[in-house]
Structure 1
Amino acid sequence: MTAFRTRLRMSRLLLYTVLVSVTGLFLGPFGWLVITGLKSPGELAASPVHWLPDHIQWGNFAEAFTTIDFLGYARNSLIIATLYATLVTLSSAWVGFGFARLSAPGKKQMFGVLLGSMMLPQIVTLFPTYLIFAKLGMVNTYWPWVLWGLASAPYLVFLFRQFFAGMPRELEEAAIIDGCGYVRIFWRIFLPQSLPVIAASFVIAFTWTWGDFIAPSLLLDTDRTTLAVAVSNSYVNASGAPINNLVAAGAVMYVVPILLIFLVAQRGFVSGAATTGLK
């Protein structure tokens, strides 16, 4: 019995060591970003490298906040990310419901094509999409994100399809007997039951859009662009070279909202990601 407890303690110690190591590996880049944001320009240019700042420069964060219209760009990012995440969550839920509960010729083949589209890089479709939006006069507007949201997203469709496919058939049959159509079944029965997947889908879609750099750079001008583009391009000196400590400070403030959203929705996100794999 004592030997068993010793092995159990050792296995737990090994597991915790691995978890702490992996956590440190993931937090390392963010920690280095914070440290860089607290250094002076001289310390960044010093050789050998100063791992920690000699004098913490909290003013870098204030300067990064005031050098650009930080709140204005953050508002743009928030509008686009919330709009897209809401629309794509609802549209993906509807498409996933159709794949999970409805029967039609060629459904399996269509679902295979949908999954195959996840392997297409964004850059492959972005330039043809830009030409379409330019022809329609939607460049420098937020309409592209509305249309992308209404078109659903393959990965999110897969999440909802997996979740809806595991729900009991009796719920659907009872609703049909009571005279409900599939639209009402979706809104009144299936969607309220899928709150964990909705939370996971919303967080994923919000993160995609908040962190997107390519599409806003291509489709929006300086006044309407997002915080990701502003932080990447705006902190430069008179010669056009980036001011790295301000870039790092701005990047830290740019990442914080995503961390807060994940912490608030963490339980729903994890639950949704776990339940979509159950049948």
Structure 2
Amino acid sequence: MLPNDMRAVREKMKKTIFGLLFFSLIIGMGFAILYPLIKLAPVVFNNLEDLGNPDVIWVPEQFSTVSFQAAMRLAFGNGMPILQSVGFAAVIAFIQIFVSAIAGYSLGRVDFWGKHLVLFLVILTFVVPPQSLLISQYLSFKHFDMMGIMTAMNGGTIDLLNKPYTLYLIALFGFGVKQSMFVFIFRQFFKGLPKELEEAAYIDGCSFYKTYFRVGLPNAVPAIMTVAILAFVWNYGDTYYTGYFHPDGPYLSLKLATTFAPANVNHILYAIRTWYDVPGATTFAFDAAKQAAAFIYLLPLLMIYFVVQKRIVENFEQSGIVG
């Protein structure tokens, strides 16, 4: 065999081996990610009286949707908690996009005194655990008084804790869930835009804000979509800010945590036995209803992923997170 042919054979073998290793890695990672969902299916679709049967592992002997019925009745009711949680996450995501985008544009495109200090504080806010800021944030909203205006008008401070608009104010002030990261994403994206776009806008007579809305935002669609996805997912599943600043709100993450708390096991089992005539229901039935509720809880996130999954990787690459 000629040297050139040998070289071609070796290159082909290298590509084949690399491809096999690459696909093996992808399949292994995919299985590790999907395994919880795969493990979930035979539990939530199983007959409640067959749960715990060592002969039933992956394929239920009798398919049943009682777990979903119990989960809907216990935690979701007529479906309003899901709609309320989705609406809350969408509104908070919109506020975070609006605030983070203009902050990122200012840090990425405007030269002002203290710019690097502000950027350092933004990164520091992301690095510092939110629990270390909890006491100061809690007291600030417990005795809310912006620059003494409230005391001058009402003679005292205002208690903003456990109010419907408290979480919106936190996002508006730039302290929402991972909001400093969103500012950094927009900053990285706007920093990479060509200066010629702004110069052309200024020549045409555009002001700073007009340039931002006419040139900056229309070109920031990848960053906006990236932040929108992350903000919606993280706010939809948030229990930290919702638990401390609006614990009585209609948030599904909190409702599931309280409904399926260990203290409610006997109550839920009694309800399942009574509602669905399952006298042999055990703690396995409680776990099945809890996992069915978790599956229903994930449906909005899964729907969003399947709708936008084709552009997720592309948007991450263009938004400044990598590279």
CA contact (8 A) 2:48 2:66 kept: no
Normalising to structure 2: TM-score of the pair? 0.78
Spell out the pairing of 1:135-146 with structure 2 (5 A cutoff): 135=143, 136-146=158-168
Q: Where does residue 117 of structure 1 map in the other structure?
A: 125
Q: Where does residue 39 of structure 2 map in the other structure?
A: 32
Give the counterpart letter for 2:71 in structure 1: A
Q: Where does residue 190 of structure 1 map in the other structure?
A: 216
Spell out the pairing of 1:1-279 with structure 2 (5 A cutoff): 1-41=8-48, 43-45=50-52, 50=57, 53-70=60-77, 71-135=79-143, 136-152=158-174, 153-222=179-248, 224-235=249-260, 236-239=264-267, 243-277=286-320
Aligned to 1:265, what secondary structure does the other structure show?
helix
Deviates more, 1:29-38 or 1:117-126: 29-38
Give the counterpart letter for 2:99 in structure 1: S
CA-based RMSD = 2.4
After superposition, the Cα gap between the structure-2 partners of 1:264 and 1:127, relative to the gap in structure 1 and judged at 3 Å, is farther
**Whole-Å separation in 1 of the counterparts to 2:111 and 2:200:** 18
Deviation of 1:133 after TM superposition, in Å, equals: 2.8
Select the structure with the greater relative contact order (CA < 8 A; seq sep ≥ 6). Answer: 1
Deviation of 1:230 after TM superposition, in Å, equals: 1.6
Deviation of 1:175 after TM superposition, in Å, equals: 1.2
Residues 138-162 of structure 1, C-alpha deviation per residue, up to 9 Å, x if partnerless?
3333312211222331101111111
**Whole-Å separation in 1 of the counterparts to 2:185 and 2:245:** 29
**How many pairs does the alignment contain?**
278
Q: Which runs of 5+ in 1 are unaligned?
A: none
CA contact (8 A) 1:200 1:270 kept: no
**Whole-Å separation in 2 of the counterparts to 1:262 and 1:11:** 29
Normalising to structure 1: TM-score of the pair? 0.89
Give the counterpart letter for 2:225 in structure 1: A
Aligned to 1:104, what secondary structure does the other structure show?
coil
